Chains A and B, each alone.
Chain A
Amino acid sequence: MRIVVDFDLCESNAVCMQIAPDIFEVRDDDFLYILNETPGEADRERVEECVQRCPKQAISIADD
């Protein structure tokens, strides 16, 4: 599983950071950083929740 963020859409609302702070972090510069771009299957449910809860629909999962 690879996390893809469309940074043209992302507006750093930080919803993903609240759901998975070990994977997503919005820093003081107000930009989103992906801490772990290829989390394991154990994290899939949380990452899917991030996809569904992102108010900008900016996160997707690539299974390649």
Chain B
Amino acid sequence: MSAPSSVTIVGASLAGLRAAETLRRDGFDGPVALIGDELHEPYDRPPLSKQVLAGNWAPDRIALTPSDKLADLDLDLRLGARATGFDLADRTLRLAGGETLEVDAVLIATGARCRTLGPPREGVHVLRSLDDCLALRADFDAAPDRVVVVGAGFIGAEVAATARTRGLDVAMVEALDAPLSRVLGPEMGEVCAAVHRDHGIDLRTGVGVEGFDGAGRVERVRLTDGSAIDASVVVVGIGVVPNTEWLEGSGLALDNGVVCDAAGLAAPGVAAAGDVARWPNRRFGYSMRVEHWDNAAAQGAHSARALLGADDPYEPVPWFWSDQYDRKIQLAGHVRPDDEVKVVTGSVAERRFAALYGRGGRLVGALGFNRPRHVMRYRAMIEQGAAFEEAVAAEV
């Protein structure tokens, strides 16, 4: 395959930026456009639920790359520009406002957006962007009587932990019987629940949200069991949906994400990366879409190389971390709630341990609470295709 005449990257967050950096590092010297719908230069999202929300970091600390290094990449950087359509056959990209760009190679990294509950209402937040974070932080600064977090997944858990650390009264509502039990399994879900309760969170599990009450601003969260919680601020963290609507009718296959091949190509000369990309991960033998920071960084680079002609499959062992209170929770691999789980080192009671996940005799995941070194060793074992029993017995 010959090198593209130009590369247009749609989405200016982590995956898009890493793609641009990789193109330049690998010697591509043609035009590269980086198009993002936010007005900010590419920034790092994980601190939005932690240091920035806590008020410990100013927003300018989260730039993904300093402005001078960004300039060195010699990009056509278009911020505040939302892509509204793409046509694979005639290679045109439409932007909000009506502009149409002729494009050659395209890398799609438009990420995902938060699911919401009902229409927008004052005092009800989601957390994805810097602007979301600053709006929520302003509400936290006003010393609300109670914060209600809807959804005890990783974002909800981090927001609850940050709010508690700021001394706020926090209730968290989770529809599952235990937080993250659909990801980590019921046993580890209970460990997460205990961590929150130990820190004074009013955690309600196995109950959903019926709706919000209040004259204008939110005042109360109504639950499906008939009870209600007074709330001055609500944060909804019930997952995300990939941003693919702008690609409907483009000629690309969409299925809860942009459907790619094993290398990351959605069509000749079109790749995707990050939260929006679905691809068959051969290491696990099925198709996945991964919403983690590390995947956005790695897949951004991999898919950029795919546009330059590399055809090696992208087959990572996914990995992410979540910082809650003084705990660093890390998960490597791809786990399912019915996988076999075994604690292999440390103490669950002390919340410092590693647990392994097995499926069909194979090691498929490793969960760590304050065990970063162990998780990375096990991640390498997953990569090597280790048997579950072998991993359980291993000294790491």
Contacts and interface: CB of A to CB of B under 8 A. Distances in A.
Binding partners A and B: yes
Interface of A: 11-15, 17-18, 26-28, 30, 48, 52-53, 55, 57
Contacts, number: 44
B379 A53 contact: no
Contact of A30 (B293, B297, B372): B372
A11 B21 CA distance: 24
Q: Sorted from nearest, which 3 A-B pairs have the closest CB atoms?
A: A14-B376, A26-B373, A14-B372
B70 interface: no
Per DSSP, chain A at the interface is: loop
B321 A13 contact: yes
A53 B294 contact: yes
A30 B328 CA distance: 11
A12 B372 contact: yes
Contact of B328 (A11, A15, A18, A28): A11
Interface of B: 18, 21, 25, 44, 46, 64, 293-294, 297-298, 301, 319, 321, 323, 328, 330, 370, 372-373, 375-376, 379-380
Task: Give the interface centre of B319, B375, B376 by most chain A CB atoms within 10 Å.
Answer: B376
A52 B373 contact: no
A15 B377 CA distance: 10
A18 B379 contact: yes
Given A11-B328, A53-B298, A55-B294, A18 B376 contact: yes
13 contacts: A11-B323, A11-B328, A13-B372, A14-B373, A14-B375, A15-B376, A18-B379, A26-B373, A28-B373, A30-B370, A55-B294, A55-B321, A57-B64
A35 to B, nearest CB: 14
Given A26-B373, A53-B294, 15 more contacts: A11-B323, A11-B328, A11-B372, A12-B328, A13-B330, A13-B372, A15-B319, A15-B376, A17-B373, A18-B379, A26-B372, A26-B376, A28-B373, A48-B25, A52-B297
